[in-house]
Amino acid sequence: MIRITPPVDNATIKTLKVGDKVLFSGTIYTARDQAHIKLVQDMNPAFDLQGAVLYYVGPTPTRDGQVIGSCGPTSSYRMDELSVPLMERGVKMMIGKGNRSQNFQKEMIKNNAVYLIATGGTGALLASKVKQRKVLMYEELGPEAIYELEVKDFPCFVAYDVHGNTLFKGGTDV
């Protein structure tokens, strides 16, 4: 088990291997499809992309007494093309679910970034790891806004590493 407190540096990225269990404590940012479109165009985002961790999620409404509603990962492939310019601007880790394109994998390695997966169907468990949240950018997008999450022991697994390895059957050709 590897404990990571963002922001993430290149040395940390190089130590990660496919299958490693990672526990995040600190700040991660949510971003889905619509937020990615806006963030790619935004040259002055409200947070530093350098070393940032993006979590592909659209949280459900918060109930009384909760910090956040259920917040399980969403399918990542929809962000493949939009992830490239964000990695070029410093994003180091992305968390979601599912396989990604070969082009994404090549760009990820080129930009010294890592893709992690959170277990689908565990949105309530993952929500219990969120200690604080606030809407940071694009509030008009509702659940697809960018939220700043303070997490404690948020569990993920390395799905693609910078050495060209993958958890997914068939591997990659990178």
Q: 142: how many CB neighbours lie within 10 A of its CB?
A: 12
The answer to whether residue 36 is catalytic is: yes
How far apart are the C-alpha atoms of 63 and 44, rounded to whole Å?
Answer: 32
32, 36, 97, 133: which is the annotated catalytic residue? 36
What residues have CB less than 8 Å from 27, skipping those under 6 apart? 6, 53, 148, 149, 150, 151
Q: 63: how many CB neighbours lie within 10 A of its CB?
A: 9
Catalytic site positions: 36
